[in-house]
Structure 1
């Protein structure tokens, strides 16, 4: 790490932790909710794995790990693409699409600001 961690990187990491924790909880609740078919069990395990990976990405961001930043970037770009698709294909969901798109853009800006680039350079 070449410099102190920018607040924007910390914010993105904390949001990743929260998302990861919520995915983990959702997966556990699906597994423990009672009898379930194979599709529900599979969805539960996918949620758990995504939750763990998301938490690890948050930790990596705090430590200045560039691979974690790349993974977060991929997710933000996919979210942005999804928001554009939803805005075009499902006009009734325009506000959801706008919010999703704006959050993805904000995440990208925070991870690629001059201070963030310096932080991830080391």
Structure 2
């Protein structure tokens, strides 16, 4: 019997898909406008990286949607890196404390939603 996707997993998958799509769009815009920038080489590199990361994020989102355990692992690693980044930002004294708090909070929520009992059952199916 197929288990239904928990709402938390659905939320994380949708947010990941949106994030990936925005990265692809932003990267494409960078590539289209690179020639007009002050550092065209850097703009092209940033655009390519953004598109690639966006596509990877979209693939992870699809994997989460379908209940692929490897997608949950990749998403958890990214959330853990975001958590570390948020904590470093929070305690670095750069004046971006709220940014650090929000980043860390979203990372914790993402990890929690992907590792609930119902989410674990969904990814084991």
Q: Which bracket does the TM-score occupy, shorter chain normalised?
A: over 0.9
The reply to whether residue 12 of structure 1 matches residue 17 of structure 2 is: no
Match of 1:64 in 2: 67
Q: Distance in 2 between matches of 1:113 and 1:34?
A: 43
For residue 100 of structure 2, the aligned residue among 70, 80, 97 is 97
TM-score by length of 1: 0.95
Report what 1:42 is aligned to.
45
What is the alpha-carbon distance in structure 2 between the residues aligned to residue 34 and residue 7 of structure 1?
A: 40
Partner of 2:116: 113
Unaligned runs of 5+ in 2: none
Identify the residue that residue 21 of structure 1 maps to in structure 2: 21
Alignment correspondent of 1:85: 88
Cα displacement string for residues 28-53 of structure 1 (whole angstroms, at most 9, x for unaligned residues): 00011151522211110010000001
Residues paired across the two proteins, number: 122
Q: Runs of 4+ in structure 1 displaced over 2 angstroms?
A: none
Gaps of 5+ in 1: none
3-state SS of paired residue (1:92): coil
Q: CA deviation at 1:91?
A: 4.8
Distance 1:9 1:3 in 2: 13
Q: Does the CA-based 8 Å contact 2:87-2:104 persist in structure 1?
A: yes
| 2:17 and 2:58 in contact (8 A); partners too | yes
What is the RMSD computed on CA atoms of the aligned residues? 1.3
